[in-house]
Structure 1
């Protein structure tokens, strides 16, 4: 990177104009969106069920079925954030989290998505954010959720990745 300049900020998000040098030596501008890291959780019940949440996505002008997820606060441990988001959105606590690795969104985004498989689920209490009040929770077989992800019925990219990695970890695929 040759130069970087922040051109806008809103909360945890910032937009930068960078000047970079390509492998060819050409210098070009590149826009970067600085965004917080996030967590994605695939709940796994003993009978093979999982939970999906449905919420309105303003930027897409549509509602979306997804795995429970959310952004981390600055300095928050990803595993703690995953446990928090699972309980806030679904009303379930997990005894165990297994890392499913990380993923990255669009190439202009800086944030890392941490994905987890959650086992040993017990009912707790939902504590949703104000913008999540209309969220729906659906319990269904993980195999059905995976099929929905692979067929395109679930379009949220990191939810698709999380479900596929969970299915792989559980030897469903």
Structure 2
């Protein structure tokens, strides 16, 4: 019987490293396709990331920051990359505090998903936190953020206006909507 995870497997023949940066690396893999033909795949390697749906009373904590690839500011849930060997749950709490100042002792995993499996291996871990306690934000030295608390209706309006347009935040808004309707995520 065929392993469902290996169905249509593309066997790597050769890997060419192209770029290694602070956050990502890029490589070109030459692969053998299931039909025996050879193709190339451009692959972005990423250490993984976390994101946090932080709920305060009837609002969601978000940060607004400029996103250079988009050439505009975006409203997003707190998020960041994993450090080498870092536990995603601890990273989620770390990113929440760094970006917003909020802390919590109530955290639950919602889902882990690949952000763009057609060209990247980034796995993002999404958490929900409640029982927030306000502290002081400590963003990275190259991060310029503004934190706010928005309602579900405001979040949906931001999606329509494309002020929220990244997948992790849209997924978090839909998870929050489900939570409000059913009491569970």
User: TM-score, normalised to structure 2's length?
Assistant: 0.84
Higher strand share: 1
- Listed one character per residue, the Cα deviations across residues 60-101 of structure 1 (whole Å, up to 9, x for unaligned) are 111111011111101110010000111111111112111110
| 2:80 corresponding residue in structure 1 | 70
Contact 1:38-1:112 within 8 A present in 2 as well: yes
Q: 1:61 to 1:150 in 2, by over 3 A?
A: closer
- Which whole-Å deviations, capped at 9, do the CAs of 1:93-114 have from their partners, x for residues lacking one? 1121111101212221111000
Q: Write out aligned runs for 1:50-129 (5 A).
A: 50-106=60-116, 107-129=118-140
Deviation of 1:150 after TM superposition, in Å, equals 6.1
Partner of residue 20, structure 1: 31
Task: Output one character per residue of 1:24-82: Cα deviation in whole Å (capped at 9) or x when no partner.
Answer: 33210000011121111011123x11111100111111111101111110111001000
Whole-Å Cα distance in 2 between the matches of residues 36 and 116 of structure 1?
Answer: 18
1:43 is matched with which residue: 54, 61, 75?
Answer: 54
Contact 2:55 2:132 in 1 (8 A): yes
Change (3 A) 1:104 1:151: farther
Q: Is the 8 A contact 1:103 1:158 kept in 2?
A: no
The equivalent position to 2:146 in structure 1, one of 122, 136, 141, is: 136
Q: Give the stretch that moved more between structures: 112-121 or 152-161.
A: 152-161
Preserved CA contact (<8 Å) 1:57 1:63: yes
Verify: 1:160 aligned to 2:173, yes or no: no
Distance 1:154 1:111 in 2: 20
SS of equivalent to 1:131: coil
Gaps of at least 5 residues in structure 1 are none
Counterpart in the other structure of 2:181: 171
Query: What's the C-alpha RMSD, in Å, of the aligned pairs?
Result: 1.9
Higher relative contact order (CA 8 A, sep 6+): 1
Contact kept? 1:43, 1:118, Cα under 8 Å: yes
